[in-house]
C-alpha cells in the first residue's frame, strides 16, 4: 500500500473509531438530523387558549407552546409555572411588534374576539411570523383581505382555525364531494348551535363581532361549502330571538338557505338558544352524514347503506396545528388558507343583508 493510500485508510479508521467510542445517543445525533419543532405563541388567553389549545400543544409533534400575549399580568405566572414559558417569550398587546426580534417564535396564533382578528393578525405578519387565526377569520371581507395581503407581503403562511377540515371523518365527506359515491347532491341540512346562558359576554356585542352566525353559523356554512365542493350563488335568511332582552345587538338564531350552481340546496341553522349539531347530505342514490359534525371529540356518522364513519382522533386541535406546522416545514399548501375564511365571510355578509332586507340575495 503506497503512503498516500495508507494515510487515507488510517484516517478513516481513526474517524470510525471515534464515532463508535461515542455514547449511543451522541451517535444517533450525528447520523439522524433532529426534527425542528415550530415555536407557537398564543395571543389571547381566554377559554379556547387555556382549556383547549395549550393542552393540545402538549400533544403536538411538529410545534410547541413557547410564548403568550396577554393583557392580564396576573395570568403570566400561572402559564409560566404550567408550561415553562420563558420571560423573553411573554408579550403584551402593545409589545407584539417585538416578536420580530425573537427567533424562538415561528407562529402567532390569534385567539381573540372577532373584531380584533385583523389588527393582531396583521401585527403578527408584519413581525415576520406565520399566522394562525381562529374562525371566523374576521368581521368583513375587507378585514379578511387585509390579513391575506399582510401575510403575502411578508411572505408568511396564513391558516384559519377550521379544525373540522382536519378531522378524518369530515375529510371523507370532503372527498365524497368530488367522487360522489351516492350520486349528485340534491339537498343537505347543516345545523350548529348551543344554548348560551351568558348575559354578559363579548359574543353578545355587535362591535366585538358577536352573534350566533359568526360564532356557530360558520360551522354550518363551511360544511355546506365543503360537502358540495361549490360556492353558493344565493342566500335567503331570517333572524329570530326568544330573549330580546339579551339579544338586542346580535342574532340569537339565524336560519339560512343556500343555493348552489349544481342546483343543490343547503338548509342551515345556527343558534345560541338551542343545541343543534347535525350534517346530513341527501343525494340521488342515498344519503350520508355526521351526527355530531362539529364537536371537540366524538365526530361520527353513517350512510344509507350502513357504512360507519367513525375514524377516531386523539385531539382535533393538535391535529390541526400539526397539519399547519407540516405545511410550513415542508413548504406545502395549508389545508385551510385565508382565502377559505374570506369566502365564508362573503356569505355571512350576504346572510345578514338578506335577513335585514327580507329578500333573497345573490352572491358574487
Domains of the chain: 38-160 (3.40.50.720), 164-313+338-362 (3.30.360.10)
Residue 123 contacts by C-beta under 8 Å, 6 or more apart in sequence?
96, 97
pLDDT at 286 over 80: yes
What Rg do the C-alpha atoms of the chain give, in angstroms? 24
* Bridging pattern class, strands 38-43 and 63-69: parallel
pLDDT at 228 over 80: yes
How many angstroms separate the CA atoms of 318 and 65, rounded? 12
Q: How many helices (H) and strands (E) does the chain have?
A: 12, 15
The residues pairing with 283 across neighbouring beta strands, listed in sequence order, are 185, 286
Nearest to 210 by CA among 249, 163, 170: 249
How many angstroms separate the CA atoms of 247 and 119, rounded? 26
Tens of pLDDT, residues 35-60: 689 999 999 999 999 999 999 999 99
Q: Is 109 helix (H, G, I), strand (E, B) or coil?
A: strand
**Mean pLDDT for the chain overall:** 92
What phi and psi values does residue 58 have, to the nearest 5 degrees?
-85, -10
pLDDT at 2 over 70: no
What phi and psi values does residue 257 have, to the nearest 5 degrees?
-110, 125
Q: Where do we find the cell 354550518?
A: 220
How sure is the predictor about 364, in pLDDT bands with cuts at 50, 70 and 90? confident
In this prediction, residues 292-309 reach a mean pLDDT of 98
pLDDT at 352 over 50: yes
How sure is the predictor about 31, in pLDDT bands with cuts at 50, 70 and 90? very low
Tens of pLDDT, residues 59-96: 999 999 999 999 999 999 999 999 999 999 999 999 99
Half-sphere exposure of 224 (CA within 13 A, CB side): 34
Tens of pLDDT, residues 97-108: 999 999 999 999
How many angstroms separate the CA atoms of 359 and 277, rounded? 27
Cβ-contact 126, 297 below 8 angstroms: no
Residue 311 Rama label (left phi>0; alpha psi -120 to 50; beta): beta
Residue 364 C-alpha cell reads as 358574487
How sure is the predictor about 6, in pLDDT bands with cuts at 50, 70 and 90? very low
Q: How far is CA 323 from CA 38, 63, 165, in A?
A: 12, 10, 11
How many angstroms separate the CA atoms of 63 and 264, rounded? 40
Tens of pLDDT, residues 157-197: 999 999 999 999 999 999 999 999 999 999 999 999 999 99
Residue 208 contacts by C-beta under 8 Å, 6 or more apart in sequence?
113, 114, 115, 202
Question: How many residues does this entry show for the chain?
Answer: 364
Task: For 259-319, give the DSSP string.
Answer: E-TTS-EEEEEEESEEEEEEEEEEETTEEEEESSSSSSS---EEETTS-EE----S-HHHH
| pLDDT score for 293 | 98
Tens of pLDDT, residues 106-133: 999 999 999 999 999 999 999 999 999 9
Amino acid at each position: 500500500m503506497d503512503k498516500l493510500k495508507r494515510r487515507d485508510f488510517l484516517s478513516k479508521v481513526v474517524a470510525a473509531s471515534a464515532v463508535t467510542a461515542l455514547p449511543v445517543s451522541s451517535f444517533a445525533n450525528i447520523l439522524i438530523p433532529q426534527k425542528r419543532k415550530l415555536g407557537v405563541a398564543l395571543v389571547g388567553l381566554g377559554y379556547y387558549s387555556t382549556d383547549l389549545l395549550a393542552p393540545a400543544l402538549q400533544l403536538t409533534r411538529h410545534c410547541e407552546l413557547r410564548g403568550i400575549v396577554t393583557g392580564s399580568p396576573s395570568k403570566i405566572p400561572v402559564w409560566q409555572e404550567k408550561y415553562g414559558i420563558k420571560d423573553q417569550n411573554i408579550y403584551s398587546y402593545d409589545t407584539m411588534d417585538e416578536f420580530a426580534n425573537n427567533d424562538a417564535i415561528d407562529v402567532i396564533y390569534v385567539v381573540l374576539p372577532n373584531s380584533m382578528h385583523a389588527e393582531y393578525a396583521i401585527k403578527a405578519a408584519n413581525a415576520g411570523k406565520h399566522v394562525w387565526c381562529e374562525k371566523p377569520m374576521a368581521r368583513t371581507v375587507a378585514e379578511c383581505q387585509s390579513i391575506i395581503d399582510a401575510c403575502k407581503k411578508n411572505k408568511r403562511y396564513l391558516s384559519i382555525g377550521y379544525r373540522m377540515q382536519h378531522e378524518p371523518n369530515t375529510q371523507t365527506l370532503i372527498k365524497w364531494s368530488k367522487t360522489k359515491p351516492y350520486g349528485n347532491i340534491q339537498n343537505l341540512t347543516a345545523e350548529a348551535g348551543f344554548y348560551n346562558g351568558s348575559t354578559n359576554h363579548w359574543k353578545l356585542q355587535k362591535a366585538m363581532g358577536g352573534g350566533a352566525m359568526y360564532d356557530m353559523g360558520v360551522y354550518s356554512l363551511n360544511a355546506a361549502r365543503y360537502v358540495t365542493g361549490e360556492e353558493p350563488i344565493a342566500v335567503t335568511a331570517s333572524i329570530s330571538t326568544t330573549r330580546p332582552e339579551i339579544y338586542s345587538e346580535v342574532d340569537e338564531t339565524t336560519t339560512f338557505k343556500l343555493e348552489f350552481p349544481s342546483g343543490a340546496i343547503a338548509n342551515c341553522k345556527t343558534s345560541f338558544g338551542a343545541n343543534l349539531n347535525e350534517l346530513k347530505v341527501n343525494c340521488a342514490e342515498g344519503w350520508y352524514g355526521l351526527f355530531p359534525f362539529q364537536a371537540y371529540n366524538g365526530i361520527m356518522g353513517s350512510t344509507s347503506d350502513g357504512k360507519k364513519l367513525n375514524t377516531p382522533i386523539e385531539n382535533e386541535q393538535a391535529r390541526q396545528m400539526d397539519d399547519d406546522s407540516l405545511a410550513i416545514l415542508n413548504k406545502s399548501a395549508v389545508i385551510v388558507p385565508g382565502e377559505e375564511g374570506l369566502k365564508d365571510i362573503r356569505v355571512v355578509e350576504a346572510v345578514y343583508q338578506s335577513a335585514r332586507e327580507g329578500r333573497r340575495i345573490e352572491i358574487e
